[in-house]
Amino acid sequence: MKSLTIFAFLFIGAALGDIVPASVPKEFLEKLHERTMQPRVVGGNDAVPKQFPYQVGVSTKKLGSFYWCGGSVISELYVLTAAHCVAGEIDSVLLIFGATDRLDVYQTGSSRQNITNVSGQIIVHPLYNPNEITSDVALIRLNQKLEFSDYIQPARLPERNRFQTFANSPAVLSGWGKVKDIGSVVQHLQYGYVSILDLNECMAYYNIKEYDNGNICLNTKDSNVSSCNGDSGGPLVSTMTGELIGVTSFGSIFGCAGGAPTGYSRVTHFRDWINYHTGL
């Protein structure tokens, strides 16, 4: 059972603000307090404008609460994100494009779309399983076509029918997620370089015996860089091929700074599903 040791990397808080990670199970918080977690940087460095033009900030409103996630522009009409960010009764989704400062409405090159009628705009993978956190991918269809610029560009998707494990190869992740285990999502976009872990090793770590190729995991121990709450749905891009290979999905209940592998939905595994819905 994955659900015993992993949890999804979304973040609940005020509208674009910073309150508490209430979606984290209570027992997780208790365990955190038992341990003395190092308040070290989980993400790494401040991103600069145009560096991650495919990065999207995703703020969803669900039953009156606000959640923070990431996403990737994959075309002028579609954003790829995690299913756990947009599944269920969503009231509205605010998408922030071309930004490094998620709170600056007037940042040069940035734009926003608030989708207030999500009916027909969100496509969650039919096999998404919130307990096991599998098939954790979703598409958001935009109301208005994006205008591409130096600040806003689609991520390059891997070709269809091409499977690669990517094990031990380098990648870059980005997001506004927490930079330490205790705290909140941050205002300035962060990024870090990471190395991809052998999938078997990752699943052995979490004691998951049955699994498919739907995930990519990262070795966060060697790089000291890890995704954390609020990074969910955001991009993992191969620095070898420049392609979007992962969608941020889960981490260890013991926190992001402890060196546990982090999990991503493997884009190649869901490539045909993306194509079916978007034609890409």
Ligand X SMILES: *[C@@H]1O[C@H](CO)[C@@H](O)[C@H](O)[C@H]1NC(C)=O
**Catalytic residue numbers, as ranges:** 84, 136, 232
In the bound state with ligand X, the residue whose beta carbon lies nearer, of 59 and 134, is 59
Q: Is 188 in the site for ligand X (CB under 6 A)?
A: no
Distance CA 56, CA 37 (A): 29
Q: Is 117 in the site for ligand X (CB under 6 A)?
A: yes
Per CB under 6 A, the list member of 3, 113, 223, 278 interacting with ligand X is: 223
What is the closest distance, in whole angstroms, from the C-beta atom of residue 109 to ligand X in the complex? 20
Which span sits near ligand X by CB under 6 A: 114-122, 126-134, 161-169, 202-210? 114-122
In the bound state with ligand X, the residue whose beta carbon lies nearer, of 16 and 167, is 16
What is the closest distance, in whole angstroms, from the C-beta atom of residue 162 to ligand X in the complex? 30
Q: Is 92 in the site for ligand X (CB under 6 A)?
A: yes
Phi first, then psi, for residue 74 (nearest 5°) are -115, -15
What is the closest distance, in whole angstroms, from the C-beta atom of residue 1 to ligand X in the complex? 30
Restricting to residues 93-112, which ones interact with ligand X according to CB under 6 A?
Answer: 94
Distance CA 81, CA 139 (A): 6
Angle subtended at Cα 246 by Cα 54 and Cα 276, rounded to the nearest 5 degrees: 80
Q: Is 51 in the site for ligand X (CB under 6 A)?
A: no
Restricting to residues 4-33, which ones interact with ligand X according to CB under 6 A?
Answer: 15-16
What is the closest distance, in whole angstroms, from the C-beta atom of residue 112 to ligand X in the complex? 8
Q: Is 59 in the site for ligand X (CB under 6 A)?
A: yes
What is the closest distance, in whole angstroms, from the C-beta atom of residue 215 to ligand X in the complex? 23
Which span sits near ligand X by CB under 6 A: 27-35, 78-86, 115-123, 229-237? 115-123
Which span sits near ligand X by CB under 6 A: 22-30, 69-77, 116-124, 189-197? 116-124
Measured CA to CA in angstroms, residue 89 lies from 60, 64, 117, 215 at distances of 10, 10, 11, 26
Q: Is 119 in the site for ligand X (CB under 6 A)?
A: yes
CB under 8 A, 24+ apart: contacts of 31-36: 31/253, 31/254, 32/181, 32/182, 32/254, 32/255, 35/254, 35/255, 35/258
Positions of E strands within the chain? 6-8, 11-13, 45-46, 55-62, 65-73, 78-81, 90-97, 111-115, 122-124, 138-141, 170-175, 190-197, 215-219, 235-238, 244-252, 262-266
What is the closest distance, in whole angstroms, from the C-beta atom of residue 16 to ligand X in the complex? 6
Distance CA 1, CA 208 (A): 6
Size of the site for ligand X (CB under 6 A): 13
CB distance 46 to 271 below 8 Å? no
CB under 8 A, 24+ apart: contacts of 199-202: 199/165, 199/167, 201/261, 202/261, 202/263
Per CB under 6 A, the list member of 45, 169, 224, 241 interacting with ligand X is: 224
Paired with 56 in beta bridges are 71, 97
In the bound state with ligand X, the residue whose beta carbon lies nearer, of 15 and 19, is 15
CB distance 83 to 71 below 8 Å? no
Q: Is 168 in the site for ligand X (CB under 6 A)?
A: no
Residue numbers at the binding site for ligand X (CB under 6 A): 15-16, 59, 61, 92, 94, 114, 116-117, 119-120, 223-224
